[in-house]
Chains A and B, each alone.
Chain A
Amino acid sequence: MFLPSLAGLFFYLNKKMNKEIKNIKKLIVNHSLELDCGKIIKDFPLAYETYGTLNKNKNNAILVFHALTGDQFITNINPITKREGWWITAVGPGKAIDTNKYFVICANVLGGCMGSFGPKEINPETNELFGTTFPVITIRDMVRAQIYLLKYLGIDKLLSVTGGSMGGMQVLQFTSLYPDKTYSAIPIACSASHSAQNIALNELGRQAIMADPNWHKGNYFKTNLSPDKGLAVARMAAHITYLSKQGLQEKFGRKLQDKGSLKFSFDADFQIESYLRYQGANFVDRFDANSYLYITRAMDYFDLEKQFNGNLSLAFKNTKSKFCVISFSSDWLYPTSENKEIVIALNTCGANVGFVEINSDKGHDSFLLDVPEFLKTLSEFLSSTYKEINYEKRI
């Protein structure tokens, strides 16, 4: 009796969230966009948020790209989930990406579930939610859609584009598509083409969702239930990949949940188990399972090298941007070696590139956490770039 009522509560909350999503900033893109899959979309919504003020010269704008489970609410309190923005450590007044100084923009990606065109939106042709009839989108589609937002906001050239993980992939795709649209670019903890290991891990998550009987081939919105179990398992598995072995060991070790002894059951004996269960449960009330499928697919399809016939440096051939590539020593999901491939490609085509690997035991998640050396690098690279372009302007 307890379980269905809990699911009903989630459903209710979900509905409430959907209602609130209607009140967020949204641009209806009145252009047609041909997706990589061949389908043409038009009049599609792009939900976004901005922080800070655009200066007179319009040269202090930073476009932040969010990662798989992020959204446009980078900092402050997310008005929908009522939780802290996903990059509150880095973005805000006086922080590395200082909103007193810069105008920070972030859009919810295509395929997302925070108001942008995604599987949770209504298909105007059928008047039903898209679900899995939503077209498969790519990182390139996501980036192309966001260029309309810049036009709408009246920004010709950005100070910087940045993002970690899938956000970093968008940075790479952006600089490749638009070689003169940003003074600088900071791809963080990412890769120019998704590795087999990462595809495998994403597939694990997708299969967990699809194995949930509530998924109903993506049509769960027609029922009162949603594939929360599957989505939670997907999140739990993914969450492990965002941490490092050393970090996990130090934080949890073999610590037990209750101080006593083992319970000889399958309850969460260990703290790490209960932590993961919490992460999973927490995730399902803010994220849509179908969105998870679509966005992970977009990541898997990302192969910038292939877009340029196996020569990654051609992707950046015409770039005028100054790059700062950042990786983390304990990140095994997007390891330093993959970040370095980007650096090598940039170097090969003579692009202006700096690179640093930050020491951290916090794994891939380092870019979201309070890692002072990282935040310092981010802050100083941005302010030196900002100084440089304003100095150049004067002379």
Chain B
Amino acid sequence: MKKEFEIILQIIQNNKKVLDIGCGDGTLMEYLKVNQNIDVRGLEPQKDLVQKCIAKGLSVIEGDAEKELVQFPDKSFDYVVLSQTLQAFLFPEKVLKQLRRIGKQTIVSIPNFGYWKVRLHLLFKGTMPITKNLPNEWYNTPNLHMCTIQDFVNFCKEKNIIIDRSLCLTNEKISEITNNNKLYKNIFSQLGIFLIR
């Protein structure tokens, strides 16, 4: 997902303060730190991953975004990044609300459940789709709330969330999502990336 990082780096300018939610082993954080002088912090629920981050010199707090985000003050970060994690929360709506409170802007990326391979998998095989981006079985997947690019756009509209930019990743190629190509992108893109506030 190097391409996704490229997009995120493009959106975030130099000398900004960023919070990476569910930062894992800190790969994105390191990428932002190394490529631009970005002051980046992370939140990660898994101890071993937090320890990996600390070893890399990254400031990461062990904690669960569904519980711990309340401790961050309003607009304390220029950007809050949620990379392919929204679908794994029990209450994605609440988490999103917190992210928008903490960050001046929020970058959310979602694995697109409307991707054609996913659709075909369900249509022809009749079983829950397993793809490169969604490698788990239905019974052990951490993904509780899968959605499509279209779903996310609809959701933002309904909740009065302003989308400043919407991008997608189609076979490692980055492109903008517009009103005209949305239907098409919702079929052919593996990932949607949104800058919202």
Residues in A lying within 8 Å of B, measured CB to CB: 322-324, 343-344, 347-348, 350, 352-359, 373, 376-377, 380-381, 384-385, 387-388
Contacts and interface: CB of A to CB of B under 8 A. Distances in A.
B53 interface: yes
B127 to A, nearest CB: 37
Interface in B13-38: none
A385 B62 contact: no
B22 to A, nearest CB: 15
Contacts of A376: 51, 55
B6 to A, nearest CB: 24
B47 A359 contact: yes
Contacts of A385: 57
Contacts of A384: 54-57
A35 to B, nearest CB: 35
Interface of B: 39, 41, 47, 50-51, 53-63, 71-73, 76
A323 to B, nearest CB: 8
A308 to B, nearest CB: 16
Contacts of A353: 41, 59, 61
24 contacts: A344-B71, A347-B61, A347-B72, A348-B71, A352-B39, A352-B59, A354-B50, A354-B53, A354-B54, A354-B58, A354-B59, A354-B60, A355-B50, A356-B50, A356-B62, A357-B47, A357-B62, A373-B47, A380-B51, A380-B55, A384-B54, A384-B56, A384-B57, A387-B57
A347 B73 CA distance: 8
A258 B150 CA distance: 73
A82 B19 CA distance: 49
B61 to A, nearest CB: 4
B50 to A, nearest CB: 5
A358 B73 CA distance: 26
B26 to A, nearest CB: 10
Consensus secondary structure, chain B interface: mixed
A43 B41 CA distance: 45
A380 B57 CA distance: 8
Contacts of A344: 71
B189 to A, nearest CB: 35
Contacts of B63: 355
B44 to A, nearest CB: 9
A381 B62 CA distance: 15
B91 to A, nearest CB: 21
A327 B63 CA distance: 13
Contacts of B55: 376-377, 380-381, 384
A312 B39 CA distance: 23
Nearest to A384: B57
Contacts of B76: 347, 350
B117 to A, nearest CB: 38
A350 B39 CA distance: 11
Contact of B73 (A348, A359, A373, A381): A348
A348 B41 CA distance: 13
Considering the complex of A and B, which 10 residue pairs feature the smallest CB-CB distances, nearest first?
A384-B57, A380-B55, A354-B59, A344-B71, A355-B61, A356-B50, A356-B62, A352-B59, A354-B60, A381-B54
A345 to B, nearest CB: 9
Nearest to B58: A354
Nearest to B19: A347
A356 B51 contact: yes
Contacts of B50: 354-356
B72 to A, nearest CB: 6
Nearest to A374: B51
Given A350-B76, A354-B60, A324 B54 contact: yes
Contacts of A359: 47
Nearest to A343: B61
A248 B115 CA distance: 55
A353 B71 CA distance: 13
B73 to A, nearest CB: 5
B17 to A, nearest CB: 8
Given A350-B76, A354-B53, A357-B47, A322 B71 contact: no
A377 B54 contact: yes
